[in-house]
Structure 1
Amino acid sequence: MKSHVPFVLISLFVLTVFSVLADSRSFSIDYENNCFQKDGKPFQYISGSIHYSRIPRDYWKDRLLKMYMTGLNAIQVYVPWNFHETIQGAFNFAGDRDLEYFLNLANQTGLLVILRPGPYICAEWEMGGLPAWLLHKPNIILRSADTEYLQAVSDWLAVLLTKMKPWLYQNGGNIISVQVENEYGSYFACDYNYMRHLHTLFHLFLGEDVILFTTDGNTDKEMICGTLEGLYATIDFGTDTNITTAFNRQRRFEPKGPLVNSEFYTGWLDHWGDKHASVDTEKVSKMLGEMLVMGASVNMYMFEGGTNFGYWNGADYDTRFRSVVTSYDYNAPLSEAGDPTDKLLAIRDVIKTFRDIPVGPMPPATPKLSYGFVTLLKVGNISSLLDTLSPQGPVRSQYPLTFEEVKQYYGFMLYRTTLPRNVPEPTPLISPLNGIRDRAYVSVNGVYQGFLERDTTLVMNVTGRQGDQLDILVENMGRVNFGTYINDNKGLLGNLNLGNDVLTDWLIYPLDINTAVASGWLQSDHSEVPPGPELEPGDGPMIYSGTLKTKGLEWDSFLKLNGWTKGQVWVNSVNLGRYWPQRGPQQTLYVPGPFLSATQPNNITILELERAPSHGRILFMDRPQLDNTGQKT
């Protein structure tokens, strides 16, 4: 029998070396010299935000390398709670959710990490990263010391922070600081007991040596409600702000220590129907240089934005509901597809004057290809496909139930009832309490009648006979991610009236379109509805399918849906996100090469919600179009 002593000795030696290395590593705040200290020496970070949840795993290394070659020495990373615990108690850190793999890639690349684990992150992400299942409790006060909310947060952080502790810099990893909550001063609650509870939890799971910080906007109110003794207070602002005024505000809350802009805005987000946002490159590079001259540590938000794949886009609510578009390009230094831009080159030129940047060329843009046109065939309307899309059958209820009550958190649900009387003349179908969340597509006996929309279209006319089938397909367009209204339930939140009659006796079908697509059940050759040789124009929610052959290449592309109205696209089993070219400004959807097959036909599935074009074509292009509000059909 062979001895295991040599192996044991080697293992002990490795552990000892690792322990010595970890003991020699430190990251702290030097309050006397107003700076960070890394391993006992003054340190200034130049960082960029990147969201692993918005980038295909296959491209993580490419994006991180481009950030490193720009001269960044750190990255800033949000952790979306709902991305990892979509169903309460079921934690997913595999595949595109493998946060530790992402941290390891950053470490191998030479990038330190500023971790922002929430539990709330905003980030223009669905519900600001909070899981929709929190809304099972109708009176829950999110982001507060509400007992049920705190219990859910504690359970989540026990899992997440335990995973993160080995990645702290002083433990041999690359996480140099950890944010507690996010821009809490912008929230109405201003609950210091909640922040104290988080403070305790973070120290419990991460230890006493970690730097914990807060980030808040550039106003006194935000800084007052968002900061807490024991958490280092940082500030965020963009190119429209006076640097001295902003850092003077931080100094009122942190008289000593490093100046930090945790979110220096290189760009901005888009909403459907708004003009494409952009921030001037010269202003960004000039202001970055001015902050670095002052010795400030700066994180650029975003450095690469990425994409709101699937149903992950958020929404804002000020005077009305505004849904965030699928692209999170953000006019950032790296484009949505990870391509270096003029803004990146300008930023690199600034960084060169403050620190040595890596020698060598910037990695090039990923290759793009215009695959050309694909013609789609009609599979069938939603009503005809319910057995496939909702195999568990309907939930019966006298009155409408919300998505959360049915535990269908994202996507679509179909509400079905019958007309209670003859309505030969156009009769108003009304949402009297503005209870549409967020868009409802109305059909009678399978014939599309029109739509209702949150805040803007609360009445439409229908006709029909008593007993006719009334179908209302409701789309969750993304929960509010910022401000007071993040407790954003979806579906029909109140009764619908037909004239003076309250509609009752509902069949409610949760639709699992992702599973149906992944199973191949929505391809035209699997459908019970025989497609015609050509696509016929159709109104209302309808499924279409086709195939793309990539000519042996798996290159990035951009999908343009000219003449299509509004809907959702899947390539193979991947939900690319929402399209709405008629409202804009986004006109194309990003199709990463790793989502395609070079050897097999690629299945394209579209849910068109209103009206498809008679030509039935979609176009795969080699460049994006993100800045056109509205289109001609």
Structure 2
Amino acid sequence: MSQREGLRADSSHFTLDGVPIQILGGSIHYFRVPRACWRDRLLKLKACGLNTLATYVPWNLHEPVKGMYRFEDQLDLEEYISLAAALDLWVILRPGPYICAELDLGGLPSWLLRDKNMKLRTTYPGFTAAVNSYFDKLIPIVTPLQFSRGGPIIAVQVENEYGSYAKDEHYLTFVKEALMSRGVTELLLTSDNRDGLKCGGVEGVLQTINLQKLSYGAIQYLADMQPQKPLLVMEYWCGWFDVWGEPHHIFSAQDMIAAVKELMDRGISFNLYMFHGGSSFGFTSGAVDFGSYKPQVNSYDYDAPLTESGDYTTKYHLLRDLLGSYQSKLPQLPAVQGRKVYEPVVFSQHMSFWESLRCTDMPFKSNDPVNMENLSVNHNSGQSYGYTLYETSIYRGGALHSRNHVRDKALVFIDKHLIGILDYRTQETAVPHSERERILGLLVENCGRVNFGPALNEQRKGLVGDITLNHTPLKKFTMYSLDMTPNFINRLQSLKWKSTDEKPLYPAFFRGSMAVDGQPRDTFVKLPGWSKGVVFVNGQNLGRHWSVGPQNTLYLPASWLKSGDNQVIVFEEHRAGGKMHFAENPQHCKTIDVSRQPFCTLS
């Protein structure tokens, strides 16, 4: 059999195997969708009239510990791409190494920051060596899946939105050659918003654009930059992400359909970002910082055509009707998977956070506080996520000042009793006076590393410098790593738990049982009256709960449940509100319509 000719961009339209095509794409990230749901979501993408799947590849999840790689189970990229092929979908692969994606550190592994001189997204030798090692593992997995070799991958993206960063004029060439030297032969492309197009290109690579509104002449600007080249909107933002403490974002279905119709009529290829957002489970969500730090929520619903739990929306049906008018026949709609509102969970037991320290690894001791990434845990890869406890002895009271070295939020304790909170806005708290020796504790939470913008290199977490008591730096710290991995949660089971008849000492873990009769169904968890913490079901970290909103529920997939009793553990920092409740649909606080807002420049 002769080799197929891959995607070509030699004229004003794309050709694939010599035939003109229009790319009608949708983004679905395998790492944000439970593996049991992959097929359902891809079938719904195809049934909507789309022909291409786009996905990022998160380095931080595939190499969570330096030199230890994960490409199985939820992270089985080969199986995900093969499933797309089986459903007759093309694939645009976006392997980074940086991907943004509203993931912690933009998908870069935090252990890179152990190098105090690290310069991310540049040709700094420490960064390029790490990229080369990662690509040595990743790229051989995907090269057999390229279109010219019988697979579905028709294009591969070179990094992501580098024009908005542009710290090193040689960097994109390095990434391009790193891909090609390992056997990537399909069409290469870059992706930038309009402001980044000027600095985001590299010779021999097609440029594409990201946008939400077709005004401002952005597409014409791209066309003028690349005469006689096909146009691709790599990210048409049909929604937006949320940050804690601000409104939930929505985007008008009518505005989206009008934009897609214009793209169709002009023969412009596009990829909907997101077609289905899913969830940033656990501690994987990132943050933004354009003058003030704002952590992102766990839901990545994105107001997409498919909801966080895979339901059809008005956007989906309008989009399907529109795309169906350009095609002879669309596949049948897959059935909707029902959800269930389970009986509330009663928490019968609790354990003080201080007791849980017995389940941590050996504490780390140092004269000065050490940032999370440089703690000597996890095969010298440091701590990536969760909380770190810093303890030291004090002999007086006075003014405790963080000097803005808390990343990102610290609960301050004296002899295990909460006396204050330090964060970016509050950098000083009063310590009661006493001349006897007391233990000062700071439980510092990584709320998410920034995933976009110039602050990437400054995303070390925990205590990143001295804190002072009456202007004198504190010394002789003992540090405990609380990354709250499944192994840690399992170790908690062996400890003695107290009855909830006894008053808990906060922070605390609460344990209860969720009853599931028959076949499990998807549901949403809600914790009215609770304050802030983390939810675990059968050892799986659903993500943060936080009363500031806008996310008031956490998605719990059916595939993470079993018939019978399911164990629920909630870590709560301040106040337990009683039972855990369930809802059929997600719930949010106040919403804001971004289609009525000024042009967005992020992605």
Smaller-chain TM-score range?
A: over 0.9
Counterpart residue number, 2:532? 566
> 1:535 offset after TM fit, Å?
6.4
Counterpart residue number, 1:401? 370
**What is the aligned counterpart of 2:481 among 498, 502, 510?**
510
Alignment pair present for 1:384 and 2:355:
yes
| Structure 2: distance between partners of 1:85 and 1:356 | 44
Structure 1 residues 516 and 147: alpha-carbon distance in aligned structure 2, compared to 1, 3 A threshold: closer
Q: Would the aligned equivalents of 1:517 and 1:572 in 2 still touch at CA under 8 Å? A: no
Amino acid in the other structure paired with 1:199: K
Alignment pair present for 1:415 and 2:390:
yes
**What is the aligned counterpart of 1:626 among 588, 594, 597?**
588
Structure 1 residues 419 and 555: alpha-carbon distance in aligned structure 2, compared to 1, 3 A threshold: same
Structure 1 residues 516 and 381: alpha-carbon distance in aligned structure 2, compared to 1, 3 A threshold: farther
> 1:610 offset after TM fit, Å?
2.1
Amino acid in the other structure paired with 1:611: R
| Structure 2: distance between partners of 1:464 and 1:595 | 49
> 1:254 offset after TM fit, Å?
1.2
Amino acid in the other structure paired with 1:250: L
**What is the aligned counterpart of 1:310 among 282, 285, 298?**
282
Structure 1 residues 116 and 516: alpha-carbon distance in aligned structure 2, compared to 1, 3 A threshold: closer
**What is the aligned counterpart of 1:104 among 79, 82, 86?**
82
Counterpart residue number, 1:441? 411
Counterpart residue number, 2:190? 214
Q: RCO higher in 1 or 2 (8 Å CA, sep ≥ 6)?
A: 2
After the TM superposition, which of the residue ranges 289-298 and 500-509 deviates more from structure 2?
Answer: 500-509
Counterpart residue number, 1:124? 102
SS at match of 2:580: strand
Q: Would the aligned equivalents of 1:69 and 1:357 in 2 still touch at CA under 8 Å? A: no
Q: Would the aligned equivalents of 1:188 and 1:484 in 2 still touch at CA under 8 Å? A: no
- Could you tell me the TM-score, scaled by structure 2's length? 0.94
Amino acid in the other structure paired with 1:325: V
Counterpart residue number, 1:530? 498
- Within 5 Å, which residues of 2 pair with 1:62-101? 62-101=40-79
Counterpart residue number, 1:576? 542
Counterpart residue number, 2:4? 25
SS at match of 1:277: strand
> 1:445 offset after TM fit, Å?
1.2
Q: Would the aligned equivalents of 2:450 and 2:456 in 1 still touch at CA under 8 Å? A: yes
| Structure 2: distance between partners of 1:351 and 1:176 | 21
Amino acid in the other structure paired with 1:300: L
Q: Would the aligned equivalents of 1:412 and 1:475 in 2 still touch at CA under 8 Å? A: yes
> 1:124 offset after TM fit, Å?
0.2
**What is the aligned counterpart of 1:597 among 535, 544, 562?**
562
**What is the aligned counterpart of 1:238 among 203, 212, 226?**
212
Alignment pair present for 1:137 and 2:112:
no
Q: Would the aligned equivalents of 1:441 and 1:540 in 2 still touch at CA under 8 Å? A: no
SS at match of 2:456: coil
Alignment pair present for 1:59 and 2:37:
yes
Q: Would the aligned equivalents of 1:339 and 1:364 in 2 still touch at CA under 8 Å? A: no
**What is the aligned counterpart of 1:606 among 551, 570, 578?**
570
> 1:627 offset after TM fit, Å?
3.4
- Within 5 Å, which residues of 2 pair with 1:433-512? 434-453=404-423, 455-463=424-432, 465=434, 466-487=436-457, 488-512=459-483
SS at match of 2:155: strand
Counterpart residue number, 2:594? none
SS at match of 2:389: strand
Per-residue CA distance 1:67-91 (angstroms, 9 max, x = gap) = 0101110010100011100111111
**What is the aligned counterpart of 1:173 among 136, 143, 151?**
151
Equivalent pairs counted in the alignment come to 583
Amino acid in the other structure paired with 2:79: Y
Per-residue CA distance 1:485-523 (angstroms, 9 max, x = gap) = 11200000111112233211100011242245552x435
Amino acid in the other structure paired with 2:175: L
Structure 1 residues 276 and 144: alpha-carbon distance in aligned structure 2, compared to 1, 3 A threshold: same
**What is the aligned counterpart of 1:204 among 163, 175, 181?**
181
Per-residue CA distance 1:329-367 (angstroms, 9 max, x = gap) = 00000000011111001111111122234232x123321
| Structure 1: distance between partners of 2:431 and 2:352 | 19
Which residues of structure 1 form unaligned runs of 5+? Answer: 1-19
> 1:608 offset after TM fit, Å?
0.6
**What is the aligned counterpart of 1:276 among 221, 245, 248?**
248
> 1:477 offset after TM fit, Å?
0.8
Q: Would the aligned equivalents of 1:126 and 1:481 in 2 still touch at CA under 8 Å? A: yes
Structure 1 residues 371 and 230: alpha-carbon distance in aligned structure 2, compared to 1, 3 A threshold: same
> 1:218 offset after TM fit, Å?
1.4
| Structure 1: distance between partners of 2:166 and 2:178 | 22
Alignment pair present for 1:365 and 2:340:
no
**What is the aligned counterpart of 1:162 among 119, 126, 140?**
140
| Structure 2: distance between partners of 1:314 and 1:491 | 15
> 1:206 offset after TM fit, Å?
2.5
Structure 1 residues 440 and 528: alpha-carbon distance in aligned structure 2, compared to 1, 3 A threshold: same
> 1:377 offset after TM fit, Å?
3.6
Amino acid in the other structure paired with 2:560: F
Amino acid in the other structure paired with 1:625: Q
| Structure 2: distance between partners of 1:470 and 1:516 | 28
Structure 1 residues 84 and 64: alpha-carbon distance in aligned structure 2, compared to 1, 3 A threshold: same
> 1:468 offset after TM fit, Å?
1.2
Q: Would the aligned equivalents of 1:192 and 1:228 in 2 still touch at CA under 8 Å? A: no
Structure 1 segments of 4 or more deviating over 4 A? none
Amino acid in the other structure paired with 2:169: Y
After the TM superposition, which of the residue ranges 342-351 and 620-629 deviates more from structure 2?
Answer: 620-629
| Structure 1: distance between partners of 2:26 and 2:345 | 38
Which residues of structure 2 form unaligned runs of 5+? Answer: 376-381, 592-603
Structure 1 residues 464 and 510: alpha-carbon distance in aligned structure 2, compared to 1, 3 A threshold: farther
> 1:403 offset after TM fit, Å?
0.5
| Structure 2: distance between partners of 1:377 and 1:498 | 40
Amino acid in the other structure paired with 1:28: L
Structure 1 residues 357 and 448: alpha-carbon distance in aligned structure 2, compared to 1, 3 A threshold: farther
SS at match of 1:319: coil
Per-residue CA distance 1:426-447 (angstroms, 9 max, x = gap) = x322111x11101111111121
| Structure 1: distance between partners of 2:590 and 2:7 | 47
| Structure 2: distance between partners of 1:38 and 1:44 | 10
Structure 1 residues 283 and 535: alpha-carbon distance in aligned structure 2, compared to 1, 3 A threshold: farther
| Structure 2: distance between partners of 1:26 and 1:39 | 4
SS at match of 2:55: strand
SS at match of 1:440: strand
> 1:378 offset after TM fit, Å?
4.5
Q: Would the aligned equivalents of 2:384 and 2:483 in 1 still touch at CA under 8 Å? A: no
Counterpart residue number, 2:516? 550
Amino acid in the other structure paired with 2:49: G
| Structure 2: distance between partners of 1:128 and 1:357 | 39
Per-residue CA distance 1:231-278 (angstroms, 9 max, x = gap) = 101111113x417x1111112321122111000011000000111101
SS at match of 1:627: coil
Please report the RMSD computed on the Cα atoms of aligned residues, expressed in angstroms: 1.5
Per-residue CA distance 1:19-64 (angstroms, 9 max, x = gap) = x1xx3422232423x1111121100010000000101100000000
| Structure 1: distance between partners of 2:46 and 2:579 | 41
Q: Would the aligned equivalents of 2:3 and 2:149 in 1 still touch at CA under 8 Å? A: no
Alignment pair present for 1:617 and 2:579:
yes
| Structure 2: distance between partners of 1:535 and 1:602 | 24
SS at match of 1:306: coil
| Structure 1: distance between partners of 2:9 and 2:456 | 37
Q: Would the aligned equivalents of 1:444 and 1:464 in 2 still touch at CA under 8 Å? A: no
